[in-house]
Chain A
């Protein structure tokens, strides 16, 4: 493997990891603050991708599609939160698992009804539909660089909010001790709604910007969900920092795994998780 190829894989791993971070950060926030395990999180990623596919066809513009799709995804998330999750906050994780699993069945099938079972794709939008010439025979997609930039910017915003705002203090406190949030005299109901909306928006947005990079398939939400679980377990539940480094680690591991050791590539991330569990059963950053 020459250096340029290695560099490309490094970039790919970073880009994939950053995308995973967007999804995993929502997952870990929703658990850390709300105490909810939301299996339907991956389904929202899929919905994001399908929405942007559909709206790009209708509106003829990828960026416009994203602008319209984000509010739709957030409203969908709000409906789910108000209608179903509201009843689950005080209940056992088991019921959260079951209810959100039921939601997956409904959302996945609704997707089939609306968009069918075919694989779709979205064209890389202008002005990023170009490639950088790295070496004579290696190119790198500008859009991937753009995705990286957007993810890093969002990660920066999340970091700033958590470090420097009152909301951030609440989030950090909540991740350590959820009961404390209620003791801080905060309208918990509003906070939960906010957190859930942000979480859904992040994962759906990840699905949207990933749409031109991946094939849009019915099961895409399920596999990303499980990968993000691994990220969260490695990083430590409730920890945004953990989600970030966990996501980068897993992104790299999957990318390099599939290049270097394709025979066990799909197992690599689970082996990493097992190793982390052996050393730190509560995650690296818990």
Chain B
């Protein structure tokens, strides 16, 4: 039903995954010396895809437009940078839980304040809290100010004495990020299809009605806010490992704006859409940067165009290819529910997760 899509979505995503995952095999033959650079870019895209996906839970699924999601992204980056020993590699075994814990606590505190607000208030307050951390970090002496903090050693993944994953190897790191993305995707897919997800959909459609039914909608939103923040922080940690530093810009509101752009390019509320959006955004960025130094104009116009003509993003094109006149009329969310079982199937008690 909801969050269930035509088969071609799964096929397209699996094909893309296969292409990206096998890049280290075919990349060097096709691109020669360029392939290292492309692998680096791909790694970044995978990380940003995780970031965008985490925001989709708030923006696309519940309809809470956050303009401060970079707060958690940057928090992940800085937690890694500040908690890493100076002359040694941290262990990912404790670094990952630490990053998640810090983000969860931050999301809980911020969430308790912002969840009380609605609509435009939510946008403004998330933006303001994002900026608060931005100023805190960029003026704090321990956080390196506007220069940020360098991370000399990537965390290691060891078991006893033996190194399980050598993250300094770009390929290994790439696969770690890809693994995180797939895991994050499967988690969010499960979550949105669960009862919990159904409540979130209900809140998106009509929060007031959910309250009249007896749901404590604030609690649900808060839990989703925390989950979203934790995933974003994991993405931020991976980004800091990739760049080798944590920088205030990762916390700034332009980063929050960029990730929203990825959402609209990819298609909101679909979980898989933002993955496509992150790739599309990074590819566009690369192209525009090579066209002109004034690339922000092109990017700005692209986003404006996307809002005006393609509000459902790439995912919308895949789910419901244009051409049917009625598609243009009905609200887009409705179309997401098109893939339903035939009306004549026997009526039987069913756990919704099992159908379709």
Contact = CB atoms under 8 A, between A and B. Distances in A.
Direct contact of A and B (CB under 8 A): yes
Interface stretch (A57-65, A91-99, A135-143): A91-99
Contacts of B116: 277, 281
Given A109-B294, A266-B135, A31 B120 contact: yes
B194 interface: no
Contacts of B75: none
Interface stretch (B76-84, B123-131, B181-189, B334-342): B123-131
B303 A99 contact: yes
A167 interface: no
Contact of A95 (B67, B302, B311): B311
B300 interface: yes
Q: Determine which residue in A104, A105, A229, A271 has the highest number of CB atoms from chain B within 10 A of its CB, and name it.
A: A105
Contacts of A101: 257, 260-261, 300, 303
Q: Determine which residue in B114, B128, B129, B260 has the highest number of CB atoms from chain A within 10 A of its CB, and name it.
A: B128
Interface stretch (A8-16, A144-152, A192-200, A230-238): A230-238
B296 A105 contact: yes
A126 interface: no
A113 B294 contact: yes
Nearest to B256: A101
Contact of B128 (A91, A99, A233, A266): A233
What size tier do the contact residues of chain B reach? 35 or more
Interface in A63-110: 84, 87-88, 91-95, 97-99, 101-106, 108-110
Contact of A105 (B63, B127, B253, B299): B299
A contact face: mostly helix, strand, loop, or mixed: helix
A163 interface: no
Contacts of B299: 102, 105
B117 interface: yes
Given A103-B304, A108-B296, A226-B253, A273 B128 contact: yes
A273 B294 CA distance: 36
A158 interface: no
Contacts of A105: 296-297, 299-300, 303
A37 B113 CA distance: 20
Interface of A: 31, 37, 84, 87-88, 91-95, 97-99, 101-106, 108-110, 112-113, 222, 226, 229-230, 232-233, 237, 263-264, 266-267, 270-271, 273-274, 277-278, 281-283
Given A84-B308, A102-B300, A230-B124, 13 more contacts: A37-B123, A37-B124, A84-B304, A93-B65, A93-B123, A97-B67, A101-B303, A102-B303, A233-B117, A270-B128, A274-B129, A278-B113, A282-B117
A-B pairs with lowest CB-CB distance, top 8: A105-B300, A270-B132, A102-B303, A266-B135, A106-B300, A281-B116, A102-B304, A109-B296
23 contacts: A37-B124, A93-B123, A94-B65, A94-B264, A97-B65, A98-B306, A99-B308, A102-B304, A102-B307, A104-B257, A105-B303, A112-B294, A233-B117, A233-B121, A233-B125, A267-B135, A270-B129, A270-B132, A270-B135, A274-B113, A274-B129, A277-B117, A283-B121
